[in-house]
Structure 1
Amino acid sequence: MLMKTYAGNWLEVAHRSQGPDKNYDFLRRYGLLIEDVRDILTSLVADDYSDGPCCDDRQLGRSDVWKFGKTVELEGEELELYIKTSFGYRADGMGCVCVSMHPCEHPLSYPLKEGRS
């Protein structure tokens, strides 16, 4: 799986300190834990890639971000998730920051999947 190597050392789920936090609201709505986020991230494959690396000016101090989409079933409901990740280093090695994970608000393109039957 695409992210298994990077999410293996550590995983941080970013959250907003002020205002609405659609990531937290999504996780809470479906009762998802950090282990569930890790499972979704480590299940990503190349076809789930949407965009990146690109700069995210809203994430000060972070490296470039990559964007993915993933269709998952939660509580009997099929959802296309928007997932934005960044990678970083700490004393315990390289890891992943899940900057965003929530249902898609806009259609995503999948350049590695499109055009294949």
Structure 2
Amino acid sequence: MLKLTDSQYQQFLAGDTRNFIAAVADQFLAKRPEMQANPGRAEVIERMQNAYNGGLKMGFTSTPHLVYMMYMEADAPGLFEDETVRYYLTKPTSTPEQRLDDFDAILKLEIKRMGEK
């Protein structure tokens, strides 16, 4: 049986996380090829890494919600660093995932209303 030291295990987890974020970025860029050139793959990965880290700090545990945050951050850098957004997502009485679902519904409603004008 393979045994890892704590340091080796932490390195393994960090590498696994980097690979996950890169895979999500590649999936995103496949759907958004115009972003390959500007801002570029490295920048998209950095934005997604920021969203992933921020999501974990806010208490997110759901992978689909973290991926949604990563996609949003790729398009709107700094969105989840905004103090008001962070406050809303971490407000007590609901989980961050429930709050993000509500936030998403509000965004979709606003986009729909803007399209009707």
TM-score w.r.t. the length of structure 2 is 0.31
Higher strand share: 1
Name which structure has the greater RCO, CA cutoff 8 Å, separation 6+: 1
Higher helix share: 2
TM-score w.r.t. the length of structure 1 is 0.31
Rg bigger for which structure? 2
